[in-house]
């Protein structure tokens, strides 16, 4: 291999690595007072936190007096409701679109934080598209237990535009809610 070919190959690998490493794009600004409240999970990428057969999945966000956002997640599996509570902190105060979430508290210390980046918000905060910087995790959330096909297509489009593989999306059943 000639030196020119070698340098060209190196340049191509650097460019591909740079493009692939570009983080997803978040929304410009999130009004947290409008974002707080209950959201229903209408789609997600598979992850180790939620069983594949989980249904009736909700997340409720509320402001804590200490500045953190309280995060309460719940789902139903085999007729049993499971809940977990954590906190979120704002990572980017300019936009409020990048948060970090922790569900592990060890004697007041939270050693594990995960990205919670808001990639898209529907009109009047009717839906939200959330992901992480590595494109490993993604959720589509809605204020109602079901989304219109138009809003779902828009939300999936946001994931695709940000480089997420949407083929493995899971669409949990949310009807017949008995909370």
In a domain, 11, yes or no: no
The whole-angstrom separation of Cα 60 and Cα 119 is: 18
- Give 40-77 pLDDT, tens digit per residue: 999 999 999 899 999 999 999 999 999 999 999 999 99
CATH of the domain at 70: 2.40.128.20
HEC string of the chain?
A: CCHHHHHHHHHHHHHHHHHHHCCCCCCCCCCHHHHCEEEEEEEECCCCCCCCCCEEEEEEEEECCCCCEEEEEEEEECCEEEEEEEEEEECCCCCCCEEEEECCCECCECCCCEEEEEEEECHHHCEEEEECCCCCCEEEEECCCCCCHHHHHHHHHHHHHCCCCCCCCECCCCCCCCC
In a domain, 170, yes or no: no
Q: Is residue 12 predicted with pLDDT exceeding 60?
A: no
- Residue 28 is part of which domain span? 24-161
Instruction: Enumerate residues 6+ apart whose C-beta is below 8 A from 99.
Output: 69, 88, 89, 90, 91, 115, 116, 117, 118
Among 78-87, 118-127, 148-157, 167-176, which stretch is predicted with the lowest mean pLDDT?
167-176
- Give 14-37 pLDDT, tens digit per residue: 444 444 569 999 999 999 999 999
pLDDT for position 108? 79
Average pLDDT over residues 169-179: 72
pLDDT for position 8? 45
The count of structural domains within the chain is 1
Considering the chain, what is the average pLDDT of its residues?
A: 89
Q: Is residue 99 predicted with pLDDT exceeding 50?
A: yes
In a domain, 29, yes or no: yes
In a domain, 177, yes or no: no
Question: How sure is the predictor about 96, in pLDDT bands with cuts at 50, 70 and 90?
Answer: very high
The whole-angstrom separation of Cα 177 and Cα 81 is: 11
pLDDT for position 20? 54
pLDDT for position 106? 82
pLDDT for position 3? 42
Q: What is the CA radius of gyration of the chain?
A: 19
Q: In terms of pTM, does the model score above 0.75?
A: yes
Q: Is residue 101 predicted with pLDDT exceeding 90?
A: yes
In a domain, 109, yes or no: yes
Instruction: Enumerate residues 6+ apart whose C-beta is below 8 A from 54.
Output: 75, 76, 77, 82, 172
In a domain, 7, yes or no: no
155's tokens: 């939300």
The whole-angstrom separation of Cα 158 and Cα 174 is: 22
């Amino acid at each position: 291999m000639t030196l020119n070919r070698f340098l060209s190959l190196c340049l191509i690998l650097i460019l591909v690595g740079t493009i692939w490493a570009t983080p997803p794009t978040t929304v410009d600004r999130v009004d947290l007072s409008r974002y707080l409240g209950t959201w229903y999970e209408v789609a997600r990428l598979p992850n180790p936190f939620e069983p594949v057969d989980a249904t009736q999945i909700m997340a409720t966000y509320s402001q804590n007096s200490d500045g953190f956002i309280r995060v309460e997640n719940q789902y139903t599996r085999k007729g049993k409701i499971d809940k977990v509570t954590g906190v979120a902190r704002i990572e980017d105060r300019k936009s409020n679109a990048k948060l970090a979430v922790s569900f592990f508290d060890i004697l007041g210390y939270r050693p594990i934080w995960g990205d919670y980046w808001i990639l898209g918000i529907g009109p009047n905060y009717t839906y939200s598209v959330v992901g992480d910087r590595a494109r490993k995790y993604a959720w589509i959330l809605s204020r109602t237990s079901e989304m219109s096909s138009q809003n779902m297509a828009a939300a999936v489009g946001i994931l695709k535009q940000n480089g997420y593989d949407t083929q493995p999306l899971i669409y949990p059943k949310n009807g017949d809610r008995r909370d």
